[in-house]
């Protein structure tokens, strides 16, 4: 799923149904491509909160790049940005990209949100804005995570969350590729099987209330995508989540191999439209 932070990684290349990938490298490349695709929507959402030059922002669960370039551009050299992620490998990739682009105002911290001491993040916090993408769905208690995020913000600071709801019919290709929808279903099922709140986007009002933050607004956005890139993304996601899917008996190895083959064949198709996942954007106030 575009934007999905998959924790299952492998260092050795694997091959299934003729599709070869190095899972860790593939995850990073996919998430970087996703961040680039979503950058205009991320920028717009953060601007709507009032984030501007000289501001302070944190991207929680930033992975190999996340929203860090967008936040760095918005706050400028006089601002401060912090990226928080539990994966040192992902942060290493992020550091290389940020250094290449000259974003020296970005600090990276390797830690889990639930366990990191506030003193490790403040300064540069408390923050004007906290951003999360495909993060809350992976939390067993997303309201508790929102509450913890709010603790890192100044009074009146904003939270921007971008999450993907299940059951929307997206991603979508025209003509339709049934394997794409099946893989999307398996991704949501895998998140649920690992204890995540896979349908968090359907419950934002209750989550904000339980977290003690004020819901300011919700909207949806639907990024257009390139067919081959979208299909390759879902091949990578399915390959990455294969161990989880098989372990929890969500699909057989045979079905996974068949789905990978169908997605590979679909790359030869001619499509009149292609959309990635539908996202729900929530803006809340601490």
What pLDDT, in 10s, does the model give residues 99-112? 999 999 999 999 99
Contact 94, 68 (CB under 8 A): yes
Render pLDDT for 228-270 as a digit per residue (tens, 0 to 9): 999 999 999 999 999 999 999 999 999 999 999 999 999 999 9
What residues does each domain of the chain span? 14-285
Peptide bond into 120 cis (omega under 30): no
Structural class in CATH, domain 14-285: alpha beta
What length is written for the chain? 286
Strand order in the sheet with 153-163: 106-110, 80-85, 56-60, 127-133, 153-163, 279-285, 214-221
Task: Enter the pTM of the model.
Answer: 0.88
Give the 3-state secondary structure of residue 44. Answer: helix
């Amino acid at each position: 799923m575009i934007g999905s932070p998959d924790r299952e990684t492998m260092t050795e290349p694997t091959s299934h149904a003729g599709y070869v990938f190095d899972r860790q490298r593939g995850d990073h490349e996919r998430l970087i491509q996703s961040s680039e695709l979503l950058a205009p929507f991320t920028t717009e959402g953060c601007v709507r909160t009032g984030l501007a030059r000289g501001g302070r922002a944190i991207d929680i669960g930033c992975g190999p790049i996340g929203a860090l370039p967008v936040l760095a551009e918005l706050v400028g050299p006089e601002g401060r940005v912090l990226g928080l992620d539990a994966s040192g490998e992902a942060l290493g990739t992020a550091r290389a990209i940020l250094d290449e682009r000259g974003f020296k105002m970005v600090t990276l911290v390797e830690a889990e949100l639930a366990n990191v001491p506030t003193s490790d993040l403040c300064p540069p916090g408390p923050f004007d804005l906290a951003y999360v993408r495909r993060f809350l769905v992976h939390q067993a208690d997303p309201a508790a995570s929102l509450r913890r995020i709010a603790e890192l913000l100044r009074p009146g600071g904003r939270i921007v969350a971008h999450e993907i709801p299940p059951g929307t019919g997206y991603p979508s290709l025209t003509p339709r590729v049934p394997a794409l929808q099946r893989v999307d279903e398996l991704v949501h099922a895998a998140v649920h099987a690992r204890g995540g709140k896979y349908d968090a986007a359907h419950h934002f009002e209750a989550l904000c209330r339980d977290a003690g933050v004020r819901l300011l607004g919700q909207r949806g956005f639907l990024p257009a995508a390139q067919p081959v890139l979208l299909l390759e993304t879902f091949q990578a996601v399915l390959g990455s989540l294969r161990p989880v899917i098989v372990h929890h008996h969500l699909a057989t190895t045979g079905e996974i191999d068949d789905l990978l083959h169908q997605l590979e064949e679909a790359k030869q198709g001619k499509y009149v439209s292609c959309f990635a996942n539908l996202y729900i954007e929530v803006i809340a106030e601490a």
